[in-house]
Structure 1
Amino acid sequence: MSYQKYERIAPLYDVLDKAYEVSWKRRLRGEVFRGSVGLVLDAGAGTGCNIPFYPRNATIVAVDNSPAMLSRAAKRAVREGVEAEFLEMDLTRTSFPDNHFDAIAVTLVFCVLPEELQLPVLRELSRICKPTGTIRILDYTLSRKAPVRLMMRVVSPWLNFAFAARYTARYESYLEQAGLSVVENRFVMGDVVKLLVVSPRSR
């Protein structure tokens, strides 16, 4: 179960992920938060890698279901002088009211969610996002290019072992069921990492 794995690897996570973070993740995180204002949710904040990109003119709430990961995020925010509220919370059933957030950022979260939780999480994010708000999802997708796809399949066992993650998350197929409409859908690294911007349909 990814929750248990992240509780165990929290002290090592930033070391294990450093090569990915430095080589490409860091430059894409800013894309997810650019232009966000008002009340912003960092959904699945982990150890706080998004913190340097939190918009200073927004109110930030960061949640994660791993206390060990969230504790490291809160400490990082203090070190970097960033104000945010950090809450332990399950993304399938948050305690936030309906239509609460102006923007929600979900960075590399669906790749670690079990298949059966992806629709419930999308439905919950749709519920707590304002009708005028956006949910910005940065995540993997399996390449359509044969050589790249082969490489991803070779790397997959390590990704799953180290991070309980995979390249084959099917979150896009659940958008309609979750009541979400696509605002923007584009690749931001080859055809393996995508930025998907969605918004709740009228309810």
Structure 2
Amino acid sequence: MTISSQETVLIDSIKKEAHDEAQKILDSAYHVVEERRKNTDEQIKKIRADNDAKENQQVHVITQNGMRKIESLKRKQLLALKAEIVNHVVDRVKEKFDAFLSQPEFKEMIMGWTVEAALGLAESDPVLRAAASCRPFIDDAFLDQAANRYRELTGKDVTFTLAPDVITKGLGIVLESKNGKTGYNNLLENRIDRHIDTIQAIVLKDIFNE
């Protein structure tokens, strides 16, 4: 079959239109792809920027948390150090009092603790219980002298009764009412507990300049 010149022109025209249409489709597809690539790049940049910001924020948060933990640890270590020093001071105080047992002034100190306990208890006929370490210093003369000092301070009479049993541990005295319902504990441990704030204040001032 012979193709006429008109058919040839028509075929060429169809081919050209097909080529042009194909090119348009390709160009459109390329444009879409390019736009998507640009959008993707922008999204990637945005995601990266967001991630960087989030990472920076996370780093900041982690850093802040880390610093807070470090500061907290420092505070805990400092508190532990202060507590350790206070405990050391308390131990040294106890050692000093143990060594003080052999000194003549020790009996006078126990006398003062007894009168102090009587003032705090405010009973007219208290029972005096002494630690075993202090018992040798306490006799009838001691009790009379303590009563006289109490009278000088208050204008009131007091009669001390020495308990037959002793406190096996510690150093000092405990004054109790006859019925045993009230008492004033003047053992060294309790005296230290009552004055622990003062001891801590001395440590903070002299050692930590606080």
Question: What TM-score bracket applies, with the shorter chain setting the length?
Answer: under 0.3
- TM-score by length of structure 2 reads 0.26
Structure number having the greater strand percentage = 1
- TM-score by length of structure 1 reads 0.27
- Which one has the largest radius of gyration? 2
